Amino acid sequence: MRQQPSVLIVEDEPAIAELIAVNLRHNGFRPTWAMDSASAQRELDAVLPNVILLDWMLPGESGFSLIKRWRADPRTKAVPIIMLTARSDEMDRVAGLDAGADDYIAKPFSTKELLARIRAVLRRRAPEQIGGVVSVSDLSLDSATYRVSFRQQMLKLGPTEFKLLHYLMTHAERVHSRSQLLDKVWGDHVFIEERTVDVHVKRLREALGADAGQMIETVRGAGYRLTAQSARPVLSQLSA
């Protein structure tokens, strides 16, 4: 029998947490509730859930601080996280997604929408967990260990840049519009502006460095493409 997906609810309002938990149980999930950062950390230390529903505003350490800490920890960095918060303007959504959230839901929300987004996050995360190593020219990405290297040199990428690079590398030599990248990397239910893609492409190029960064081409009027053709060759010194 297939095991029910587990969901850790990190929410300081008991009424909201109970409403979410009841709906999760009725739809085939196993919810666990933590009302603050300390109890959430204890739950994670005991067992990793399939998904975390994380409130932004918590007593003590905020959800925003928690997500950055969990994304920096190799043990928890791959656990899908959906932020639940009353902070609904675009800057807050972008900040939450940049910190490593897989999705961002503003309160109040419908339980049907929440369930749909949990299922969507689980679908998107499933291929990454078995993705293995992807290589394009001298650029290599390991989705199991979240490591990226170029010509044997390790590179440091943020969580969003990592997901963007993973998608571009697994679909190399194809041109992707900004709206397509938003759908495939951020999810078709995340409402942020297309210029967000430009910001993250710029950050990704900077993180990759001059040689690897130029592998991401801007195709005027169309979008972006990752190609092996733009990687500068390593110049070997000629012996006298």
Residue the block writes with tokens 């990248």: 181
Distance CA 208, CA 221 (A): 24
- For residue 208, what pLDDT band results from cuts at 50, 70 and 90? very high
Q: What are phi and psi of 230, to 5 degrees?
A: -95, -5
Q: Are 157 and 98 in contact (CB under 8 A)?
A: no
Q: At 35, is the secondary structure helix, strand, or coil?
A: coil
Q: At 145, is the secondary structure helix, strand, or coil?
A: coil
Predicted pLDDT of residue 31: 95
pLDDT over 80 at 216, yes or no: yes
Per mean pLDDT, which range of 6-10, 59-63, 137-141 is the poorest? 59-63
Tens-place pLDDT, residues 219-231? 998 999 999 876 6
- For residue 149, what pLDDT band results from cuts at 50, 70 and 90? very high
- Rg (the chain; Cα; Å): 20
> Nearest Cα to 185, choosing from 63, 130, 103?
103
Task: Decide which of 176 and 123 is more confident.
Answer: 176
Predicted pLDDT of residue 57: 85
Q: Are 164 and 215 in contact (CB under 8 A)?
A: no
The residue extents of the domains of the chain are 6-129, 133-230
Question: 219 forms bridges with which residues in the sheet?
Answer: 223
Can you read off the two tokens belonging to residue 194?
A: 């297309």
Average pLDDT over residues 120-143: 75
Can you read off the two tokens belonging to residue 189?
A: 């239910």
Can you read off the two tokens belonging to residue 230?
A: 């733009």
pLDDT over 80 at 131, yes or no: no
Q: Could you tell me the CA-to-CA distances from 139 to 56, 90, 147, 164, 176 in Å, in that order?
A: 36, 33, 11, 14, 19
Distance CA 205, CA 213 (A): 4
Task: Quote the pTM value.
Answer: 0.56
Distance CA 224, CA 168 (A): 9
Averaged confidence pLDDT in the chain: 84
Question: 141 forms bridges with which residues in the sheet?
Answer: 134, 148
Predicted pLDDT of residue 233: 56
Distance CA 156, CA 147 (A): 8
Average pLDDT over residues 197-222: 92
Predicted pLDDT of residue 189: 52
Q: Could you tell me the CA-to-CA distances from 89 to 7, 94, 104, 191 in Å, in that order?
A: 26, 9, 11, 10
Residue range 133-230 forms a domain whose CATH class is: mainly alpha
Topology at the third CATH level for domain 6-129: Rossmann fold (3.40.50)
Predicted pLDDT of residue 123: 75
Average pLDDT over residues 27-42: 92
